[in-house]
Amino acid sequence: MDRIGFIGLGIMGGPMAKNLLKVGYSLTVLDINPQSVDELVKAGATSAEDPCDVARESDIVITMLPDSPDVEKVVLGEEGVIQGIKEGALFIDMSTIAPAMSIKIYEALQDKNVQSLDAPVSGGYMGAENGTLSIMIGGDRTAFDRAFPVFQTLGKNIVYMGETGAGQVTKTCNQIIVGVTLQAVSEALTLAKAAEVDLNKVRQALLGGFAQSKVLDHQGERIIEGNFEPGFKLKLHRKDLNISLETGKEQQVPLPCTAIVAQLMDAGMAQGFGESDHTTITKIFKSTDRA
């Protein structure tokens, strides 16, 4: 059985690492938060000094980190994964980062005869805990085949998207659609509320037709109930849209609604909603507070 190194034990990474331990993988772990490391060590993992150290002990190295610069530093930086990883090993980044960074890392590791995959996920912490994440994978097919048992432990909807970066492109498309659809639902429900139409009836009626979406169903219910507990934090969705907008700029694709939604999320963060659920963008004009 492959020895796995796991770097980044946050809300997502922690439960993912535990699921790998449960099925019998031996795990070397690293996080900037000592408490998160302790928890995994108690569950049977070994701790390491730095990313280089993790890589030295592992056949497969997985990262689950907040953003592109974090992954760049952990993989390509001083004492980075690239310093310790063995020829023939496999690197899997499961963070949501810029496709361009996935390609940069892929190329750097290829020079060391190390395969790599971009494998961002969706499904939130519930999906991480239950091992039911959706995983969108880019990279060489042989690397995908090799990683498949690991993905099967972590997720359910496992899709090979194509070459390096294709996983991240798919994830950023997901974040565009979820973010803009959320704003669509927010505008509609705010208007209906102002016009004093029963929001539950509106949601129910629209779920029966072409306006149907998971966002109207799930996030729509949260908006109506006024439940803004995360869920998916506004500041993280905002970070993800930054990746979308950067990628749009590189590819010369205008993304007007994505750009507007990013601005509205900035307005939400300026109002202190960054740690709340992304549905709080519905509150930035305060219209939903009108009785």
Active site (catalytic) residues: 171
Q: Determine which residue in the list 65, 119, 261, 262 makes contact with a copy of itself, applying CB under 8 A.
A: 261
User: Which range touches a copy of itself (CB under 8 A), out of 51-59, 81-89, 104-112, 252-260?
Assistant: 252-260
- Nearest distance, CB of residue 74 and a copy of itself, angstroms: 24
Q: Determine which residue in the list 66, 211, 230, 266 makes contact with a copy of itself, applying CB under 8 A.
A: 211
Q: Report 127-156 residues binding a copy of itself (CB under 8 A).
A: 134, 136
Under rule CB under 8 A, residue 205 binds a copy of itself: yes
Under rule CB under 8 A, residue 218 binds a copy of itself: yes
258 vs 14: CA distance, rounded Å: 31
**H or E segment to which residue 202 belongs:** helix 199-207
- Nearest distance, CB of residue 60 and a copy of itself, angstroms: 23
Q: Determine which residue in the list 181, 276, 279, 282 makes contact with a copy of itself, applying CB under 8 A.
A: 181
Under rule CB under 8 A, residue 161 binds a copy of itself: yes
User: In whole angstroms, how large is the CA radius of gyration of the chain?
Assistant: 20
Under rule CB under 8 A, residue 248 binds a copy of itself: yes
# residues near a copy of itself by CB under 8 A: 68
27 vs 3: CA distance, rounded Å: 6
Whole-number Cα distances in Å, 227 to 132, 138, 201 = 24, 35, 18
Collapsing DSSP to helix, strand or coil, 17 comes out as helix
Which three-class secondary structure string do you get for 53-79? HHHHCCCEEEECCCCHHHHHHHHHCCC
Under rule CB under 8 A, residue 271 binds a copy of itself: no
Instruction: Label the pairing between strands 90-93 and 115-118.
Output: parallel
Say if residues 99 and 172 touch (Cβ distance below 8 Å): yes
User: Which range touches a copy of itself (CB under 8 A), out of 56-64, 85-93, 112-120, 259-267?
Assistant: 259-267
Q: Determine which residue in the list 69, 191, 225, 227 makes contact with a copy of itself, applying CB under 8 A.
A: 191
Instruction: Label the pairing between strands 27-30 and 46-47.
Output: parallel
- Nearest distance, CB of residue 173 and a copy of itself, angstroms: 4
Say if residues 262 and 284 touch (Cβ distance below 8 Å): no
Collapsing DSSP to helix, strand or coil, 4 comes out as strand
Q: Which two tokens stand for residue 12?
A: 């997502």
- Nearest distance, CB of residue 214 and a copy of itself, angstroms: 4
239 vs 265: CA distance, rounded Å: 10
| DSSP-derived secondary structure for 272-287 | T-TTSBGGGGGGTT-G
- Nearest distance, CB of residue 203 and a copy of itself, angstroms: 9
Q: Which two tokens stand for residue 29?
A: 């772990």
Whole-number Cα distances in Å, 256 to 45, 245, 261, 268 = 46, 10, 9, 19
User: Which range touches a copy of itself (CB under 8 A), out of 57-65, 87-95, 105-113, 204-212?
Assistant: 204-212
Q: Determine which residue in the list 108, 147, 264, 265 makes contact with a copy of itself, applying CB under 8 A.
A: 264
Under rule CB under 8 A, residue 265 binds a copy of itself: no
Residues contributing to the site for a copy of itself (CB under 8 A) = 99, 122-123, 134, 136, 157, 159, 161-163, 165-166, 169-170, 172-174, 176-181, 183-185, 187-192, 194-198, 201-202, 204-206, 208-216, 218, 244, 247-248, 251-258, 260-261, 264, 285, 287
